[in-house]
Amino acid sequence: MRLPSSLPPLRWLQRHAAGLLRLLYPPQCLGCGAAVPEVHVPLCASCVRRLERPAPATVLDHIRRLSGGERLASAQALWAFDTGGVVQRVQHSLKYGNRPAQGRTLGRWMRHLFPTAHADGGLVVPIPLHRTRHLERGYNQSALLAEGLADALGTSVRSALHRTRATASQTRLSRKQRQANVADAFAVRVPEALSGATVYLIDDVLTTGATLTAAAAALHEADVAAVHVATLAFARS
């Protein structure tokens, strides 16, 4: 291939590096290994069709068992979590694989959870990380999902919540311990800016729902009109 005379070789290589990498190492589906069009697309269409989608009523009933859950307007998840399976591989790639573009793609796919939603002044609010955890990981996976969903809904992301304190990992805690761990762990930055707003509260995985109900409690204290929970996956606990 002949290089354009007006473009230095190094700059030409930088410009075409992504294309060369795709040619040498084509992006693969995290489910079956088949080729996918871009690295930001984690799954092929065939694998997506095979994934279980939990019924919204099941997810909402689950989270309403927690104190504060009864105030949620809705709760949905795109897929059912499958320990050791495709959804877990996608979630781990998003959370630990340093692939922010994948998060935005997955967020756009979450648009299917809200078929009748439109740009009605609703705000997409991600569950925040504590600043220490954010520095360790480099990004907030829930914020990436929120960016993709907001883009698909035609609305905006609002970093309205912040963590008032660091919390222990929820992974090995019981339902009661999880609730205690995140109690009063969230606050709204500017409460008056949310008064009367419809909020789509976003996280990557709903397990017991303790984190989401704690965050929703802070939003309700700011006098929001409604809180709709949406997550990438639902893991029964």
Instruction: List, for residues 72-92, the tens digit of each pLDDT value.
Output: 999 999 999 999 999 999 999
How many Å apart are CA 68 and CA 91, to the nearest integer?
26
What is residue 182's predicted lDDT score, i.e. its pLDDT?
Answer: 80
Listed in sequence order, the residues at least 6 apart from 149 whose beta carbon sits closer than 8 Å to its beta carbon are 107, 108, 110, 111, 124, 200, 202, 230
The helix (run of H) or strand (run of E) holding residue 218 is helix 210-221
Half-sphere exposure of 187 (CA within 13 A, CB side): 6
How many Å apart are CA 199 and CA 172, to the nearest integer?
29
How many Å apart are CA 220 and CA 226, to the nearest integer?
8
Residue 33: pLDDT over 80 = yes
Listed in sequence order, the residues at least 6 apart from 179 whose beta carbon sits closer than 8 Å to its beta carbon are 66, 67, 208, 210, 213, 214
What confidence tens digit (pLDDT) does each residue in 196-212 have? Answer: 999 999 999 999 999 99
What's the Cα-to-Cα distance from 221 to each of 47, 145, 161, 186, 196, rounded to whole Å? 41, 24, 12, 11, 11
What is residue 12's predicted lDDT score, i.e. its pLDDT?
Answer: 54
How many Å apart are CA 148 and CA 24, to the nearest integer?
28
Reported pTM: 0.86
Is domain 52-234 annotated with CATH 3.40.640.10? no
DSSP string, 68-135: TGGG-SEEEEEEE--TTSHHHHHHHHHHHS--HHHHHHHHHHGGGG-TT--SSS-EEEEPPPPHHHHH
Mean pLDDT across the stretch 98-113? 94
What is residue 146's predicted lDDT score, i.e. its pLDDT?
Answer: 97
Identify the bridge partners of residue 125 per DSSP, sorted by sequence position: 201
Q: Where does the pLDDT of residue 20 fall: very low under 50, low under 70, confident under 90, or very high at 90 and above? A: low
For residue 230, how far is the Cα from the chain centroid? 8
How many Å apart are CA 142 and CA 187, to the nearest integer?
17
What confidence tens digit (pLDDT) does each residue in 162-194 have? Answer: 998 877 777 776 777 777 778 888 999 999 999
Q: What percent of the chain has pLDDT over 90?
A: 64
Lowest mean pLDDT among 18-22, 122-126, 172-176, 233-237: 18-22
Which tokens belong to 145? 């999902």
What is residue 117's predicted lDDT score, i.e. its pLDDT?
Answer: 67
What is residue 1's predicted lDDT score, i.e. its pLDDT?
Answer: 47
